[in-house]
Copies of this chain bind each other. A is one copy, B any other.
Amino acid sequence: MALGVDVGGTNAKVAAISPGGQVFTHTSLPTQPERGPAAFVDDLCRLVDTWKKLHRFRVSAVGLGIAGDVDAEKGKLRYSPNLHGWEGFDFRRSLGRALRARVAVANDANCAVWGGYLTELKKKPDHVIGVTLGTGVGGGLILSRRLFHGATGTAGEIGHITVQPGGEPCHCGSRGCLEAYAGSYGILRTARTLLELRPAEGKILRGLCSDLELLQPSHLTAAAQEGDALAREAWAVTGRHLAVGLAGLVMVLNPDVLLLLGGVSRAGRWILDPVQEHFARQPFRVPFDRLELRLAENPDAGCIGAALLAAERGR
């Protein structure tokens, strides 16, 4: 059994994964980053002990997916916006010793894309661009059937390509990044701007969420579904910016599949349609005609990918 851990700033999803990529059991641990990484590792080890006794399985590999810049070679976190003070901690040594297991540490989006590649695409296509749409926008590249790391292990940082020079501010400090429009905070900013500009519109949306401070992408999806023109426009704006960034990547990388993962991808056609319309207008046809645009459905892709990366590649 391999353990997959998707470490977020608030909670960590932990799952025991079979060699075939099935979730055997899963739970959630509070990350409490302020206690530091050693305390988190202790919690994780206690959980594994409990599971071992309960389910009588052996953990041979542990994969950690962490949001941030990960040195996959060394098994260390170089930088994370959410886990201050965790930088430089040697997860490979600490977890490896405690659990006597192979350990792999990777960027969380890379893990999710690898998990999606295994579970949704069954490792069939040669070249896949995976995009994780959540609060932030991340990604991973499967090139020639392998996760591509680049020179320093940071390949796949799709969220911070510029799609609108001088545009909306991004959490990274730049302006006009893909994430500033297609990350959930960017999507909600677009929706709130439209709601402010057009006080007479968006009735269904306003009905679904009376306190706009609590607005979520799921409200926009529900409102769009029920015919709310303003919610549909918010998705159209989001999709157009997403499409500009992704079209460039499709031309440069010429993948077989473009896989959208993460919570925001549950918007379905509301985010897919504007992307497909933009792709249909591209003059260079071959890379777009070949491309399959797909939404991933497995919500455990992050844990599965982390676990199987560790099982396959961890040392």
Contact of B160 with A251 in the complex, beta carbons under 8 Å: yes
What are 17 A-to-B residue pairs whose CB atoms are below 8 Å?
A141-B252, A141-B253, A143-B143, A148-B253, A151-B291, A152-B254, A152-B286, A152-B287, A155-B252, A155-B253, A157-B251, A157-B254, A161-B249, A162-B244, A165-B244, A173-B283, A249-B252
A151: which of B150, B245, B255 is its contact (CB, 8 Å)? Answer: B255
Contact of B151 with A126 in the complex, beta carbons under 8 Å: yes
What is the count of identical protomers in the complex? 2
Q: Does A69 count as interface, using CB distance less than 8 angstroms?
A: yes
Given A161-B247, A161-B252, A162-B244, 9 further pairs, Cβ under 8 A? A151-B287, A152-B254, A153-B254, A154-B251, A155-B252, A158-B251, A160-B251, A173-B283, A174-B282
Contact of A163 with B161 in the complex, beta carbons under 8 Å: no
Q: Which residue of B lies closest to A247 (CB)?
A: B162
Q: Does A262 count as interface, using CB distance less than 8 angstroms?
A: no
Across-interface contacts of A247 in B (CB, < 8 A): 161-162
CB distance from A281 to the nearest CB of B (A): 8
Q: Does A78 count as interface, using CB distance less than 8 angstroms?
A: yes
Across-interface contacts of A256 in B (CB, < 8 A): 151
Rounded to whole angstroms, the CA-CA distance of A294 and B45 in the bound complex is 48
List A residues 251-284 near B (Cβ within 8 Å): 251-256, 282-284
Q: Does A203 count as interface, using CB distance less than 8 angstroms?
A: no
Q: Does A206 count as interface, using CB distance less than 8 angstroms?
A: no
Contact of B156 with A252 in the complex, beta carbons under 8 Å: yes
Contact of A255 with B150 in the complex, beta carbons under 8 Å: yes
List A residues 142-196 near B (Cβ within 8 Å): 143-144, 148-158, 160-165, 172-174
Contact of A151 with B284 in the complex, beta carbons under 8 Å: no
Q: Does A313 count as interface, using CB distance less than 8 angstroms?
A: no
Contact of A127 with B151 in the complex, beta carbons under 8 Å: yes
Q: Does A100 count as interface, using CB distance less than 8 angstroms?
A: no
Across-interface contacts of A141 in B (CB, < 8 A): 252-253
Contact of A287 with B252 in the complex, beta carbons under 8 Å: no
A143: which of B125, B148, B162, B251 is its contact (CB, 8 Å)? Answer: B148
Q: Does A248 count as interface, using CB distance less than 8 angstroms?
A: yes
Q: Does A290 count as interface, using CB distance less than 8 angstroms?
A: yes
Rounded to whole angstroms, the CA-CA distance of A248 and B161 in the bound complex is 4
Contact (A163, B160) CB under 8 Å given A152-B290, A172-B283, A174-B283 = no
